[in-house]
Amino acid sequence: MTAPGFDVVVPTLGRPSLHALLDRLATALGPAPAQILLIDDRRCPDSALLPHGVPPALRARVRILRGAGAGPAAARNVGWRASSAPFVAFLDDDVVPDPAWLAQLADDIAALGPRDAGSQGRIHVPWPAHRPPTDWERNVRGLETAHWATADMVYRRPALDRVGGFDERFPRAYREDADLALRVMAAGYALRRGRRGVTHPVRPADRWVSVRLQAGNADDVLMRLRHGRDWRARAGVPRGRRRRHLAITIAGGVAVAAALTGRRRLAVAGALAWLAGTAELAWARIAPGPRTPDEIATMIATSAVLPAAAAYHYARGWIASLRGHWARPASSRPRPRAVLLDRDGTLVVDVPYNGNPDRVRPVPRAREALDRLRRAGIALAVVSNQSGVARGVLRLEQVHAVNQRVEEILGPLGLWFVCPHGPDDGCGCRKPAPGLVVQAAAALGVSPAECAVIGDTGADVDAARAAGARAVLVPTPVTRREEVAAAPEVATDIVAAVELLLGRAA
């Protein structure tokens, strides 16, 4: 069986290891990728990405694209959206593929069934031969048992399109790949493990790396909001020591507060509890070895501050969620050719089952947002559920009258697509089904992938994603929190949604 074509996407910070990766791809056995897309994600590049040039065998295949310096999720989105192959293989820039990696990748792709969205390669992290590994080396070796790590992961491009790719609200590594895999599987796909493999050497790190990694605790909050309390079990992520870290931090806080208020016994008890917890953490990290003086000093110093760092970032994640700060950064996707808008709650204030044109009130700045789209030459259409017709509380004539009033206030909105069915009618047009989006795209002469949907509910988002369109959620006070957490892109109001789609200069 001949496998379909594939592209390789590598986000990179220009590390020297990138040359070793390209050298191996140039000599690996098997069919060559159509393209190798290198995403230069350095924030302030001051030198060539590849000082020694591209290996001659790859010069016709390598493309270098600029990232936004916003982390691996955003960089990978730049890469796969620039890809044209039916499969996209993701590699980290510090791995070395096995000599037969290309042939094995082709075999892994050919073995996928019609509902298999992708395949994970096997990651080998070499350990030192003559001593026990350090705490940092053990941390990196966790990649060997990680599920769906994009250090070596291939996805069907249509599956990436369907779920919107990587969530750019994850600015760091380790959670963006688990989030993508859970969303892909929630969409009805399966993921497999392949035969191919890469080696992931342990790069040098300073003694405070374990403390910096605690910033990922903020990402865990978003994972819980998006995927529920059991996300770790479903993503194959170990629970870790967060509860112990929180207990140690609370004990330290009690000791400090009690000392400041003159409560000596409580201060001593809190300090002893903090010291015991810190000592246990340090020993748990020291005991496996190598127990050199430098490693012991590093473990003692970092264990003293690591629990507080973990607690701080975990709290920061929850505070960000409560303040609604989980909106995505500006996307790197190209401008849509058409924007499809929900009516109630998005263009006009939601009045349930409204059949009275006199009750139509636009949402703030709706006209401004629409005028920006019109100036940009973007085609418009409205996609609206109107189940009041099926329930017998509205007539289609009333719906049309309200729609006409909306256009009198906000200007021409192009074509209107209305679903008059109820939630139990089993139609294919009622959002979250994709029917309205597909109909609108066909009538406008564009593909759903060239459309963006702006709405205020999870049904709007799901309809867009089911059709392969882009989705931007503009929450209202009645939008459910889990809908906000699950949305691929979130904007604070309709103008911000348009800025996200067109760029702030629009």
Positions marked catalytic:
342, 344
Sheet strands side by side (includes 451-455) = 415-419, 379-385, 338-341, 451-455, 470-473
Cβ pair 266, 254 in contact under 8 A: yes
| DSSP string covering 395-442 | -HHHHHHHHHHHHHHH----EEEEE---TTS--SSSTTSSHHHHHHHH
Q: At what angle do helices 366-375 and 494-502 cross, to 10 degrees?
A: 20
Q: What is the largest CA-CA distance in the chain?
A: 82
Cα 255 to chain centroid, rounded = 39
Q: For residues 320 and 104, what is the distance between their CA atoms, to the nearest angstrom?
A: 43
b/e 453-480 (16+ beta carbons within 10 angstroms → b):
bbbbbbbbbbbbbbbbbbbbbbbeeebe
Cβ pair 419, 438 in contact under 8 A: no
Cβ pair 474, 346 in contact under 8 A: yes
b/e 407-441 (16+ beta carbons within 10 angstroms → b):
eeebeebbebbbbbbbeeeeeebbbebbbbbbbbb
Structure token digits, residue 284? 């748990």
Structure token digits, residue 139? 């941390």
Cβ pair 134, 76 in contact under 8 A: no
Cβ pair 21, 96 in contact under 8 A: yes
Question: Could you tell me which residues come within 8 angstroms of residue 499 by beta carbon, excluding any fewer than 6 positions away?
Answer: 330, 491, 506
b/e 146-167 (16+ beta carbons within 10 angstroms → b):
bebbbbbbbbbbebbbbbbbbb
Q: For residues 120 and 39, what is the distance between their CA atoms, to the nearest angstrom?
A: 21
Q: What is the DSSP letter of 490?
A: B
Cα 182 to chain centroid, rounded = 11
